[in-house]
Amino acid sequence: MNAVEADRVIERVIFAENGLMPAIIQQWDTKEVLMLGYMNAEALRRTLTEGRVTFWSRSRQEFWRKGDTSGNVQLVRGAALDCDGDAILVTVDQHGPACHTGAHACFDVDPLTPFVGAEDA
């Protein structure tokens, strides 16, 4: 996607008061949810135009690209805004672990055992 097309997408996004939107990162072929990060307009622009996922770090207050220090890059394969325009799903080809803990996916770290609802409820 070129910069003009990316700007058209960004115009449709509803960012939170802090200027961020949640970005769900999913492995493109298996559909496994790998992680959740946050993007501001510039991080979204970079993600859509550069082919690598860029986030905004809420703790460090700076941009970061997954894999720049670890080598565990996320190559963009697709993206879709949700129906409200306030979250994005980015499908990627993940190289190495997605989680900073070294786990394959961030949701592998602390699995819960919720009550499972019945279909007839």
Q: Per residue in 74-121, pLDDT tens?
A: 999 999 999 999 999 999 999 999 998 999 999 988 889 999 998 876
Does domain 3-108 fall under CATH 3.30.43.10? My reply is no
Please answer whether residues 65 and 53 qualify as being in contact, where contact means their C-beta atoms are separated by less than 8 angstroms.
yes
The reported pTM is 0.92
Q: How far apart are CA 116 and CA 55, in angstroms?
A: 33
> How far is CA 33 from its chain centroid?
9
pLDDT in tens, 20-70: 999 999 999 999 999 999 999 999 999 999 999 999 999 999 999 999 999
